[in-house]
Amino acid sequence: MITVNLKPGQRRKRGGNPLKGMLANLSVFRELAAKVKDPLLMGALGAWVVVIALLSLIYLNNLRQLYVLEPRLEQARSENRRFKAFLADKRRQEKIRDSLFAQITVIRSVDGDRYIWPHLLDEITKALPAYTWLVDLGVTASSTPKPAAPPAKSAKGKGKGATDTVVVDTVKPPVMFQINGRTIDIQAYTRFLRQLEASPWIMDVTPVSAQTVVEKERPVTAFTIRAAYNRADSAYIRTAPFSQSVR
């Protein structure tokens, strides 16, 4: 760059040296270093500077991670609240289910034998051939109920205060009944046996006796049959709606 002095009588002032400020700062540091003559103190000061720098970096890193994890924490809390509500509703539904099962069990124990004889009478009537009639129909002696083996234990938790509930189920023996009847034709008696065996509600059909007797001056065959009640499969059960008119 070319400079022109328009006033030849005056000399141009020289520009300031840019290194002069840096040298002054260095001289200040040299004076401080000269004043501090203990090297251990200098090492301690340097160590404190390094520690403060490291702590600042760690704090900034933790702060950044905190900002990142706060949305995840809020999401986890919302999921926790949602699952708590779900588990509470599930426990409530399980209590309702257990209550319904208990009520159904009581109803079955009370009402289970109500429709045995209607089924038996209906099946015996269907199986009865022509020229055959019944004299007596009754229950024979049956064995007492036997406990089921092994007894089942409820699958409850084993935590503190938990108790194991032992459920002993009893197996009811089948209802045994005996049929006493008369027939004119011996083939009708054998047909009656076959039709009883074909019924899904009757099992263990056993002929006990069959002999010729005289009734009203006419020879007939008196027979005795023993059988047991069998609960048929649901495919053989027909249900009908019950309606009652209210005026």
Cβ pair 174, 143 in contact under 8 A:
no
* Euclidean distance between CA atoms 194 and 192, whole angstroms: 6
DSSP state of 144: P
- Measured between alpha carbons, how far is residue 54 from residues 40, 57, 60, 65, 66 in Å? 21, 5, 10, 16, 18
Please compute Rg for the chain using Cα positions: 52
DSSP state of 209: E
Domain residue spans in the chain?
Answer: 20-111, 116-144+169-231
Compute the average pLDDT of residues 110-124.
83
What is the model's pLDDT at position 161?
44
Longest Cα–Cα distance of the chain, Å, equals 179
Compute the average pLDDT of residues 201-217.
90
What is the model's pLDDT at position 168?
44
Task: State if pTM tops 0.85.
Answer: no
* CATH code at 116-144+169-231: 3.30.70.2830
Q: What is the pLDDT of residues 2-48, one digit of tens each?
A: 666 666 655 555 555 555 555 565 566 566 666 656 667 777 777 88
Q: What is the pLDDT of residues 154-185, one digit of tens each?
A: 444 444 444 444 444 455 678 899 999 999 98
